[in-house]
Chains A and B, each alone.
Chain A
Amino acid sequence: SQKIEQNSEALNIQEGKTATLTCNYTNYSPAYLQWYRQDPGRGPVFLLLIRENEKEKRKERLKVTFDTTLKQSLFHITASQPADSATYLCALPTDSWGKFQFGAGTQVVVTP
């Protein structure tokens, strides 16, 4: 299985700034990678999927990059808002039937 690393320390950021989170993996490069948001006591909510042949994907204020050479994905929240405060998880598929391996997540705290 993969070893998936996300920053374990919480990311504290001021409202309006850009938050950048990293997801590094160690073994094979997956065909795609996903990012999820998880609020305390809740299940993950899907945000973005990026495929191996895509360098960048955007959705509103979110941007994801995928570098298969570096074995890394970056997740950006631009113009951050307090409502963006949550834990963000990256997930890599481990087969073609929907099984995923998740990173431990990085907590983002956006202060006004």
Chain B
Amino acid sequence: GAVVSQHPSWVICKSGTSVKIECRSLDFQATTMFWYRQFPKQSLMLMATSNEGSKATYEQGVEKDKFLINHASLTLSTLTVTSAHPEDSSFYICSARDRKYNEQFFGPGTRLTVL
């Protein structure tokens, strides 16, 4: 099946710094990518929908100025957590929708720990 990668797989940062997470579709083009957050023992919560070449759409309660999303190409979306705080520590997962076959594939996730 299609492959979605995320980088980095884990990151530890100090409170107040910004962290960028990349999501790439390796062998297909994705017009739409989704960003999820998952806290321990909880379900994946959709944060935002990222469309190539346009602004991201954020779910209710997600601060767009804190979680900056850029979808500059059909194979890359980035999520930047600005001024990270310990409560932002979580597992961030992206998924990419195959433009041609309309299937969705998930990345391996990025573990963010804010000290």
Residues of chain A at the chain B interface (Cβ within 8 Å)? 4, 36, 41-46, 89, 97-105
Contact = CB atoms under 8 A, between A and B. Distances in A.
Majority DSSP secondary structure for residues of B touching A: strand
A46 B109 contact: no
A70 B29 CA distance: 38
A98 B93 contact: no
A104 B41 contact: yes
A46 B14 CA distance: 34
Q: How large is the interface on B (under 10, 10 to 19, 20 to 34, 35 or more residues)?
A: 20 to 34
A64 B42 CA distance: 23
A100 B44 CA distance: 9
A89 B43 contact: yes
A104 B109 contact: no
B97 interface: yes
Contact of B109 (A36, A42, A98): A42
Contact of A98 (B4, B6, B32, B42): B32
A43 B46 contact: no
